Amino acid sequence: MNGEFSSKHFKLEKVSQGVYAAIANEGGGAVANAGFVDLGNQTIVFDTFNTPQAAEDLKRAVETVTASPITWVVNSHFHGDHIRGNQVFKGSTMISSQITYEKMRDIHPDRIEKQKQGIKELADYIVSLKEEFSRNRNLEIEQKISFLTEVERSLPTLQLTLPQVTFKEELSFYGTKRSAKLFTLGGGHSYCDAMLYIPEERVLFMGDLLFVGSPPTFFEESNPEGWEDILRKVIELEFEKAVPGHGPVGTKTDVLKLIDYMEETL
């Protein structure tokens, strides 16, 4: 894919025919993974990254590798690194679960406004990090500077863009080449986590229900028991590739590894 498309925010990976994962680069404006599915006559984008500038590259990626219009844009859950690029896709229909919509509506306006008010403090902090980096050329500091610079760049024009369509349990999409099912089994990582299943290609977009190559992240609203129960139901699906919210594209084995991790640590 590198010969066709490149972005500083993510690496574009062809997972299967018509199915692409956008794997976040460290220090970029993506933070979490995203992806898209060409159904033939329409395209579904799954999550929109942490910044509009990363989302702009995602939109450009879709336009580069498929001739199908971006018809649908899915938010898997309400966390900022999956929804803050929504404004780039205003011409498409955005979808989330009803619970995710409500959490986005209730939580993000104040959160974004506080960040906008704190731009100067953020800029000062970035300057202090650059001074620290000049003394200690640490890769983690360099990546943090890069990430925060992307956040700073996004804030002046950042707008919360909410889904126009919601669902409670599942929605099906039928294209001329393949189909997709958007569904939720409840809350695990967040209040409500949605997944996108493409049966013909045996691919499952799992959002932050799956972390590959790193431990999962838990928040105050996370439900570890519910999360593990969801994963046990997921492994009954017929899929070969799983696109995680964070980390490289995985397989059913990675879902089983996460179940084992939860059994051992929770």
Q: What is the pLDDT along the chain (266 residues), one digit of tens a residue?
A: 444 689 999 999 999 999 999 999 999 999 999 999 999 999 999 999 999 999 999 999 999 999 899 999 999 999 999 999 999 999 999 999 999 999 999 999 999 999 999 999 999 999 999 999 999 889 999 999 999 999 999 999 999 999 999 999 999 999 999 999 999 999 999 999 999 999 999 999 999 999 999 999 999 999 999 999 999 999 999 999 999 999 999 999 999 999 999 999 87
CB 44 within 8 A of CB 72: yes
The 8 Å CB, 24+ separation contacts for 55-59 are 55/84, 55/85, 55/86, 55/87, 55/88, 55/89, 56/85, 56/88, 57/7, 57/8, 57/9, 57/10, 58/7, 58/10, 58/22, 58/34, 58/85, 58/88, 59/88, 59/89
The structure's pTM equals 0.96
Q: Which CATH class is domain 10-105+161-265?
A: alpha beta
Cα separation, 191 vs 250, in Å, equals: 24
Sequence letter at residue 58: L
**Token code pair at residue 233:** 């139901």
- pLDDT for residue 81: 98
Closest C-alpha to 209, from 189, 226, 223, 184? 189
Exposure pattern of 240-262 as b/e (b: 16+ CB <10 Å)? ebbbbbbbebbebebbeebbeeb
What pLDDT is recorded for position 3? 44
Question: In this structure, how many other beta carbons lie within 10 angstroms of the beta carbon of residue 105?
Answer: 13
| pLDDT in the model for residue 5 | 87
Residue extents of the structural domains in the chain: 10-105+161-265, 109-157
Answer whether 51's CB lies under 8 Å from 29's CB: yes
What is the Cα–Cα distance from 168 to 174, expressed in whole angstroms?
A: 19
**What is the phi/psi pair of residue 4, to 5°?**
-95, -35
